[in-house]
Chains A and B, each alone.
Chain A
Amino acid sequence: MAIHFTLNGKAQALDVNPDMPLLWALRDALNMTGTKFGCGMALCGACTVHINGEATRSCITPVSSIAGKKVTTIEGLSADNSHPVQRAWMEIDVPQCGYCQSGQIMSASAFLAKTPHPTDAQIDDAMAGNICRCGTYNQIRKAIHRAAQLQAAGAKSANSGEAPEIESAEQHADVLAGGAE
C-alpha cells in the first residue's frame, strides 16, 4: 500500500516495502540521488534530510514513519542555489569531493533555522554528526557564520522591502565564476 507524504513541497506517493529506509526510496525508487549513502547507521550524516523541518538521517528512517510528513531534500532546499546556506557555501567555496556536502548543507540549514546567530561551539556541536573526509570543517564553520549573516540580511530586507545584499543565485554564480578577475 502506498505511503503518502510531501516531498519538496509536492504530494508524493511511494509504493515500496515500508521498512525501506527513506534514503533508498529517494535514491532508487524516485531517482533523487542528491541525498547520499555513507554509512547506513546514522554515523556520518551524508544522508541528512529535513522531516518536518528537523535534520534527520534518512538511512535509518523507514518510509513507513514519514506518512503525512513534510520531507525536504537537497534538491528541494532551493530551486537555484539561493538558500542562504548554499550562497554562503558558494562564497566560501566549501566543497572538495562534495559527496558529504548535501548532508552538511541540510544539517546546517536546519540548525540555522533554529539558531540564527550561532557561536563556534554551537556550530561544532550541531555539525559533529556530519563527517567530511576531505576535511572541509574550517570552511564549513566559516560558511555557517556567513550564512547566518545572509539569513539575517534576507529576513531584514524581506521585512523592510529593501533589496537583498546579494543578487539572485544565478547572477551570484556568474560573479563567482569570474572570481579570478
Chain B
Amino acid sequence: MSAVTTSIDRRRFLKTGLAGATGLVVGFYLPGRREVLAASAEPAVLNAFIHVSPEDRVTILISKSEMGQGVVTSLSMLAAEELECDWKKIRTEFAPEDKVYYDPAFGMQGTGGSQSIHSGWVPMRQAGATAREMLMAAAAQKWGVDASECHAENGVVVHTATKRRLTYGSLAEAAGKLSPPTNVKLKDPSEFKLIGKPTKRLDTPDKLRGKAMFGVDVRLPGMLHASVEHCPTFGGKVASFDGTKAKAIPGVKDVVPIMTGQPPVMTGVAVVADNTWTAFQARKALDIKWDEGPTANVSNASIFQEFEQRAQKEGVVARKEGDAAAAMANAAQKIEAVYRAPYQAHATMEPMNCVADVRPDRVDLWAPTQFQTPSRQIAAAIAGVKPEQSFVHTTYLGGGFGRRGWSDFVMEACQLSKAMKAPVQVTWKREDDMQHDYYRPASYIKMAAGLDASGKPTAFTARVACDSIMSWFFPGSIKNGMDDSSVEGVADIAYDVPNILVDYQLVAGPIPMGFWRSVGASQNGFFSESFVDELAAAAKKDPYEFRRDLLSKKPRHLGVLNMAAEKAGWGKPLPKGVYRGIAVLEAFDTYVAEVVELSLDKDNNVKVHRIVCALDCGQVVNPSIIEQQAMGAMVFGLTQTLKTEITIDKGRVVQANFDTNEPLRMNECPKMEVYIVPSKEVPRGMGEPAVPPVAPAIANAIFAATGKRIRKLPIRPEDLA
C-alpha cells in the first residue's frame, strides 16, 4: 500500500475513534517504509516489532492474537528485556498480516498450539536487542564516540565515561536510518531483569472500563449489522427462500444469501439491518426451505456405533514398541476398558463476529481471528482484489480456545459487505455459535494392558476411533490415514512399558471438527490417565507411587508429579468424605500434574474442593500469567469433566445456549493452587496444558471415593448411582 493511503486511513480511524482504543490494529507501518515514516511525525520503525516515537513511546507490535492468554504482556516483556526501555512507556499494537510475523510452526500468521512464547522467545528478544544496538549506535554517532563506550538503561543511552545521556525518543529518527546489526548477543538468563518476574498485564486497565476493542465493538461510519440463519443440519443447504417479510420490517436493509464451499452452495441467509437486534429479530421472518442433506440421519447413537464398529478393526499404527500381543498373552493379569468422550463446543464468551469493508480496490477486515493469514487471503478472494490490497486489523478476542482459527465468520462479513457496498458487521447469536462450531472430536477408545505378577505393566495397547481435526483443517497433512492430533495424549504415554501398540481408525464424519483448548490430549488424557489408575488399582498400588515408579526415566514428568503430590499432601489424612485423585501429562512440551480433592453428596453430585497443580513449562517468562493460565485451564477442564457436552440429533446440535450447555460457574469453582517447577529449558506455552489432567484426576478421585470407575465424560450424577 502507498504511504498516502496509510496516512489517510490513520486519519479516518482516528476521527472515528477507533485508533483511540488500545490494541486495535491500525498498524499500517511495515518494514521498508522508514524513509517515508521518518519524514512524518510517525514513530521510527526500528524493526518489524519495535517502533519508537520522538516522545519516548515504545510501541511493540504483537504478531499473535490476544485471547486472554497474555501474549500482549509476555511478548512485550521478551522485547523489553533486551531493549532496556522504560516498561511504563510501552504501548502495544496488533501487527498487520505480513510474512515477517509468520509463526514457523504454522508457516503463516496465527495463534495456537500453545506456541506463542516458544516461537517468540528468540525473535522478540532479538528484536529488542537489535533496536537497542541501533539506538546506541545513533547515540555514539552523535557523540562521536564508539558504541562500545555506551550502555542502555531504562529508555536512555548513556556514555558510560562522561555520563552523557540521550533518550530513545531523541535517537529514534537517527536510529531508524541505520542498518540493523545482524548478530546481536542476547542476555544470559542470569542477567534478566523482567523475564521471570511477576508482571501486571498491559491490557488490564482497558478491560476494566469497557474500552478494550473486541470484534463486536468495532463501529465504522455507515456500518450495517447482519445476522445469518445457517442451515440447521451439517452439510445441508438452502432449497429456496423468500425474504419479502423480513425485508418489510423497519430497519432491515436487505436479505442476502451466504455461499460456502467449492463449488459454492447456498448454506445460509443473512438479514442486513441498521442494528444487530433488528437483524436477529428479522431472521424469524425469513421463509427458508432447507435441503437438510444426508446428515439429517446422523445422531449421537449412530456416530458412536460407527466408532465402535471401526474400533473392531486394526487401525493405522501411531506407536509400536516391542511385541504387545505376545507380552499380553504372557501377562499374569490382563485389564481391558472402553472409554468415550463427547463433542465439545468452544463457547467463547464473545460469539463469532467480524467487520468487513469491501471496496473496489481494497478490503479491510476487523476480525477477532486467531489466524490472520487465511483471513487475509479469504478476504482478498471474496473482494476480488490483490492479496496486498487486503488488510487484517486484529481486534482483541473475547476468548478463542481454537475456535477462531477458522475464518467462516470472516467469509460471511466479506460476502455481505461486498453485496451491500458498505461496511458490514456480522454477529452470531449464542445459538449460532454453539450449533455451528467446529467441535472437539468425540472419541471412542479400547485400551488393554498386561501386568506381570509383581503388578508391573508389560504391555499397553490402545485403539482410537474418532473424528479427525486435520481432515477438516488441513487435509493435506493426513498421511496414510494418520492424524496425530487424534492420538496425542495416549500414543505418547510416558510410562515405562516395554511393549506398546497404539493404532487409529480415522472416522471422516459429517460433524465439523476443530482445535479445542489442549486438542487431542483433552480427551486422550482422560483416557490414558484414568486407565493408568485402573492399572494401579489392579496392581494394588497407590496411584501416585505406581506412576512414580513407571516414570523414573522421565525427570520432567516426575518433577511435576512429585511436586503436586507433596503440595497436596498426598497420603495425608483428609476430612471425612473427601477423596483425592491424581494425573500427570505432557502436552505441547509442558508438563503438568494435578491432584484433585472432592466429595459426593447423597445425590451423587460431585463437589470439587481443591485442585493442586504443579507444572514445568521450561523457563518462566511471567509467573503471574502462568498461574492465571493454569487456573483458567483447570476451569476449562472442570467444565468438560462435569458440565458440558454437545450431542447430535437428526444431523444438528441439540444444545443451543448456556442453559443446555452450561459452563462451570463461580459457585462450582474449587480453590486452585499452582506451583512451578524451576527449569532451564526453552520456554513453552501455558494456554492449554493444564486442561487435560483435570478430567482423569477427578475420575480417579471418584474411584477412590466410590470404587466406581468412570469411563465416559461428562460425569453425571446418574452415572454414579
Where the two chains meet, the residues of A that have a C-beta atom closer than 8 Å to any C-beta of B are: 16-17, 20-21, 24, 27-29, 31-41, 43-44, 46, 73-75, 77, 81, 86, 89-90, 93-102, 105, 123-125, 127-141, 173-174, 176-181
Q: Which residues of B contact A100 (CB under 8 A)?
A: 349, 398
Q: Which among A28, A90, A136, A176 has the greatest number of chain B C-beta atoms within 10 A?
A: A28
24 pairs, CB–CB < 8 Å, chain A vs chain B: A16-B275, A21-B277, A35-B210, A36-B350, A41-B430, A44-B430, A74-B210, A81-B209, A86-B208, A96-B69, A97-B68, A97-B398, A99-B214, A102-B210, A105-B208, A132-B666, A133-B399, A133-B663, A134-B349, A137-B666, A177-B202, A178-B87, A180-B197, A180-B199
State in angstroms the CA–CA spacing of A99 and B216 once bound together.
10
Known contacts A93-B201, A125-B667, A133-B399: does B210 contact A75 (CB below 8 Å)? Answer: yes
Q: Which residues of B contact A17 (CB under 8 A)?
A: 250-251, 277-278
CB-nearest residue of chain A to B216: A37
State in angstroms the CA–CA spacing of A77 and B209 once bound together.
8
Question: Which of B219, B399, B633, B665 is within 8 Å of A97, CB to CB?
Answer: B399
CB-nearest residue of chain B to A16: B275
Known contacts A21-B277, A135-B634: does B67 contact A176 (CB below 8 Å)? Answer: no
Known contacts A20-B277, A180-B87: does B205 contact A132 (CB below 8 Å)? Answer: no
Judge whether B672 is part of the interface by a CB distance below 8 angstroms: yes
State in angstroms the CA–CA spacing of A101 and B201 once bound together.
15
Q: Which residues of A contact B214 (CB under 8 A)?
A: 33, 36, 99
Known contacts A100-B349, A133-B636: does B198 contact A180 (CB below 8 Å)? Answer: yes
User: What DSSP secondary structure best describes chain A's contact surface?
Assistant: loop
CB atoms of B636 and A127 under 8 A apart? no
State in angstroms the CA–CA spacing of A44 and B635 once bound together.
16
Q: Which among A33, A35, A75, A174 has the greatest number of chain B C-beta atoms within 10 A?
A: A33
Judge whether B582 is part of the interface by a CB distance below 8 angstroms: no
CB atoms of A44 and B210 under 8 A apart? no
Judge whether B718 is part of the interface by a CB distance below 8 angstroms: no
Q: Which residues of A contact B208 (CB under 8 A)?
A: 81, 86, 89-90, 95, 101, 105
Known contacts A41-B657, A180-B197, A180-B198: does B396 contact A97 (CB below 8 Å)? Answer: yes
Q: Which among B209, B216, B636 has the greatest number of chain A C-beta atoms within 10 A?
A: B209
CB atoms of B665 and A174 under 8 A apart? no
CB-nearest residue of chain B to A77: B209
State in angstroms the CA–CA spacing of A32 and B208 once bound together.
14
CB atoms of A134 and B399 under 8 A apart? yes
Q: Which residues of A contact B398 (CB under 8 A)?
A: 36, 97-100
CB atoms of B666 and A123 under 8 A apart? yes
CB-nearest residue of chain B to A129: B665
CB atoms of A44 and B207 under 8 A apart? no
State in angstroms the CA–CA spacing of A28 and B67 once bound together.
24
Judge whether B671 is part of the interface by a CB distance below 8 angstroms: yes
The smallest C-beta distance from A43 to any residue of chain B, in angstroms, reads: 4
State in angstroms the CA–CA spacing of A89 and B200 once bound together.
11
State in angstroms the CA–CA spacing of A180 and B70 once bound together.
15
Q: Which among A31, A134, A173 has the greatest number of chain B C-beta atoms within 10 A?
A: A134
Judge whether B237 is part of the interface by a CB distance below 8 angstroms: no
CB atoms of A44 and B658 under 8 A apart? yes
CB-nearest residue of chain A to B275: A28
Judge whether B669 is part of the interface by a CB distance below 8 angstroms: yes
Question: Which of B207, B401, B430, B635 is within 8 Å of A101, CB to CB?
Answer: B207
Judge whether B632 is part of the interface by a CB distance below 8 angstroms: yes
Judge whether B53 is part of the interface by a CB distance below 8 angstroms: no
Can you add 16 more A-B contacts, CB < 8 Å, to A138-B631, A138-B672? A24-B276, A27-B216, A37-B351, A38-B430, A44-B658, A77-B209, A81-B205, A81-B209, A98-B207, A125-B667, A128-B667, A132-B666, A134-B399, A141-B669, A179-B199, A180-B198
Question: Which of A35, A46, A133, A180 is within 8 Å of B401, CB to CB?
Answer: A133
Judge whether B204 is part of the interface by a CB distance below 8 angstroms: yes
CB atoms of B210 and A33 under 8 A apart? yes
The 6 closest A-B pairs by CB, nearest first: A34-B210, A135-B635, A99-B398, A98-B207, A97-B68, A96-B68
Question: Which of A36, A93, A101 is within 8 Å of B200, CB to CB?
Answer: A93
State in angstroms the CA–CA spacing of A137 and B668 once bound together.
9
Known contacts A27-B276, A39-B657: does B207 contact A177 (CB below 8 Å)? Answer: no
Q: Which residues of A contact B397 (CB under 8 A)?
A: 97
* Interface size bracket, B side: 35 or more
Q: Which residues of B contact A90 (CB under 8 A)?
A: 200, 204-205, 208
CB atoms of B70 and A96 under 8 A apart? yes
What 0/1 pattern do residues 616 to 632 of B give for CB contact below 8 A with A?
00000000100011011
Judge whether B34 is part of the interface by a CB distance below 8 angstroms: no
Q: Which residues of A contact B275 (CB under 8 A)?
A: 16, 20, 24, 28-29
State in angstroms the CA–CA spacing of A49 and B194 once bound together.
38
Q: Which among B68, B207, B430, B672 has the greatest number of chain A C-beta atoms within 10 A?
A: B207
Q: Which residues of A contact B216 (CB under 8 A)?
A: 27, 33, 36-37
State in angstroms the CA–CA spacing of A29 and B636 once bound together.
35
CB-nearest residue of chain B to A35: B210
Q: Which residues of A contact B70 (CB under 8 A)?
A: 96
Chain B residues 274-328 with CB under 8 Å of chain A are 274-278, 280
Q: Which residues of B contact A39 (CB under 8 A)?
A: 430, 657-658
CB atoms of A96 and B77 under 8 A apart? no
CB atoms of B666 and A140 under 8 A apart? yes
Chain B residues 390-412 with CB under 8 Å of chain A are 396-401
CB atoms of B203 and A98 under 8 A apart? yes
Question: Which of A44, A46, A99, A138 is within 8 Å of B671, CB to CB?
Answer: A138
State in angstroms the CA–CA spacing of A52 and B364 once bound together.
41
State in angstroms the CA–CA spacing of A29 and B212 once bound together.
19
The smallest C-beta distance from B635 to any residue of chain A, in angstroms, reads: 3
CB atoms of B347 and A141 under 8 A apart? no
The smallest C-beta distance from B592 to any residue of chain A, in angstroms, reads: 15
The smallest C-beta distance from B156 to any residue of chain A, in angstroms, reads: 16
CB atoms of A44 and B628 under 8 A apart? no
State in angstroms the CA–CA spacing of A130 and B663 once bound together.
10
The smallest C-beta distance from B143 to any residue of chain A, in angstroms, reads: 29
Q: Which among B69, B277, B350, B666 has the greatest number of chain A C-beta atoms within 10 A?
A: B666
Q: Which residues of A contact B554 (CB under 8 A)?
A: none
CB-nearest residue of chain A to B671: A138
State in angstroms the CA–CA spacing of A44 and B275 once bound together.
22
Q: Which among A94, A100, A133 has the greatest number of chain B C-beta atoms within 10 A?
A: A133
State in angstroms the CA–CA spacing of A179 and B200 once bound together.
6
Question: Which of A16, A46, A95 is within 8 Å of B204, CB to CB?
Answer: A95
Q: Which residues of A contact B277 (CB under 8 A)?
A: 17, 20-21, 24, 28
CB atoms of A34 and B211 under 8 A apart? yes
Q: Which residues of A contact B197 (CB under 8 A)?
A: 180
The smallest C-beta distance from A176 to any residue of chain B, in angstroms, reads: 5
Q: Which residues of A contact B663 (CB under 8 A)?
A: 131, 133
The smallest C-beta distance from A167 to any residue of chain B, in angstroms, reads: 15
Known contacts A28-B225, A39-B658, A97-B396: does B200 contact A177 (CB below 8 Å)? Answer: yes
Q: Which residues of B contact A173 (CB under 8 A)?
A: 205
CB atoms of B667 and A124 under 8 A apart? yes
Q: Which residues of B contact A138 (CB under 8 A)?
A: 631, 669, 671-672
State in angstroms the CA–CA spacing of A36 and B401 once bound together.
19
State in angstroms the CA–CA spacing of A68 and B545 once bound together.
67
